[in-house]
Amino acid sequence: MRDPQNIQDIVQCNIDILGFIFYEQSQRFVGHDFSPQLLLDCGKQTAGVFVNQSVEYVVQKQQTYGLDYLQIHGNESVEYCKQLYEITQAYIVKAFLIDEHFSDSILEEYTPYCHYFLFDTKTTLYGGSGQKFDWNILHTMNISKPFFLSGGITPHDTDILSRIHHSKLYCIDINSKFEIRHAFKNVEAVRHFVTSIH
């Protein structure tokens, strides 16, 4: 998101975390002149999404915007996450792209330096594809951290989501299917979804 009024409207929808994309190649990139005050004054926890960017860049954005969560969504190494974990006071969320060939053995390496995992659908993109992976895979994986579920979640998925009884499911990450246009959320769709989930 990047529109000030849209941000304020979404804040009123009883969401827990607001996400902002700091990856310049994304169509949802917040832009170079995005006001830190929009985040600092929103009254909600905030997450910054980053993809294969330098530790220095991420730390600078975290400090400027007061980000509570750093969502690391590229091919970042364990050492990269370790540095962010040690430098910042933010929660580290490492994203993993899931398909039928995903091996959960990689999760163990990241466990000491991440507060949360995020599972999204593997495509040629770094998220934002609007596609789901097979959520049944979650029950076959060895997951030691609370996780965010992402990937193609729509306003009509509340019934399906209510049937996921996984002890580590922490957060439902909604994005592209709740947009009127890139980076501009459908407020009514978000409000109805959050009400239904609760």
For residue 130, what is the domain's CATH number?
A: 3.20.20.70
DSSP 127-184: S-------GGGGGGS---S-EEE-SS--TT-HHHHHT---TTEEEE---GGGEEETTE
Output the pLDDT for position 102. Answer: 93
Residues 72 and 120: their CA atoms lie apart, in Å, by 12
35-87 pLDDT, tens per residue? Answer: 999 999 999 999 999 999 999 999 999 999 999 999 999 999 999 999 999 99
Is the per-residue pLDDT at 147 higher than 60? yes
CB 45 within 8 A of CB 17: yes
Reported pTM:
0.94
Under the banding of pLDDT at 50, 70 and 90, the label for residue 130 is confident
Domain count, the chain: 1
Rounded to the nearest 5 degrees, what angle is found at the Cα of 44, between the Cα atoms of 65 and 2? 55
Domain extent, residue 191, equals: 4-197
Given pLDDT bands bounded at 50, 70 and 90, which one contains residue 198? Answer: confident
DSSP state of 78: H
